[in-house]
């Protein structure tokens, strides 16, 4: 029977060691510290509990990806099987590993950030008051053509004597 799977959230506390077995399989190893937060009713504050130390081992593609993605101080979410407990450390063989998004942004190869992602966020300006409205003129009312339209129309740019391709007059009443 396989050991039960456990889930751990903690901070990487060592450099990532990356090696290959004699048969060419990639393996990485790093330390992970899980520190619980406890409420202290006497001081009315949260305080850190005793850290639990894990020695994590990842294999093959997970090892390669962990080596490329992790650095000391990164908070991760690890899923794996406890293989041994020795010297006040728990040895964990990882099945899956993810970076916690609580304190940082993570990008994948397929979703690299756009240049706008690095742009600083600016607060939009307060809306300016609208200019005072003038009383509408006969030519400036909603639903009426603009003044330039009436000027062009009266200047003769639209000819009613021109015939269309089927011989009828293109006259249109506006």
Residue-wise pLDDT tens for the chain (174 aa)? 667 899 999 999 999 999 999 999 999 999 999 998 888 899 999 898 899 999 999 999 999 999 998 999 999 999 999 999 998 889 999 999 999 988 888 777 676 666 656 566 676 777 777 777 665 555 556 667 777 777 777 776 555 554 455 555 555 555
Q: How far apart are CA 76 and CA 9, in angstroms?
A: 6
Strands 5-12 and 45-59: unpaired
CATH numbers and ranges of domains, the chain:
5-108 (2.40.50.140)
Cα atoms found within 13 Å of the Cα of residue 69, Cβ hemisphere only: 19
Query: What's the pLDDT at 102?
Result: 85
Cβ-count burial of 9 within 10 angstroms (0-12 exposed, 13-18 middle, 19+ buried)?
middle
Q: What is the DSSP track for 32-85?
A: EEEEEEEEETTTTEEEEEEEEEEEEEEEHHHHHHHHHH--TT-EEEEEEEEEEE
CB 34 within 8 A of CB 13: no
pTM of the predicted model, to two decimals?
0.59
């Amino acid at each position: 029977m396989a050991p039960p799977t456990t889930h751990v959230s903690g901070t990487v506390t060592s450099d990532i060691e990356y090696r290959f077995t004699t048969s060419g399989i990639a393996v990485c190893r790093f330390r992970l510290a899980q520190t619980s937060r406890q409420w202290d009713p006497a001081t009315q504050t949260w305080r850190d509990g005793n850290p639990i130390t894990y020695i994590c081992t990842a294999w093959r593609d997970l090892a390669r990806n962990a080596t490329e993605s992790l650095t000391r101080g990164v908070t991760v979410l690890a899923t794996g099987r406890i293989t041994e407990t020795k010297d006040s450390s728990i040895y964990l063989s990882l099945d899956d590993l993810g970076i916690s998004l609580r304190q940082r942004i993570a990008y994948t190869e397929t979703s690299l950030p756009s240049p706008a992602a690095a742009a600083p966020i600016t607060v939009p300006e307060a809306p300016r008051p609208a200019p005072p409205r003038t009383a509408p003129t006969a030519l400036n009312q909603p639903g009426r053509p603009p003044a330039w339209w009436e000027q062009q129309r009266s200047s003769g740019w639209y000819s009613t004597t021109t015939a269309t391709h089927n011989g009828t007059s293109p006259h249109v009443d506006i």
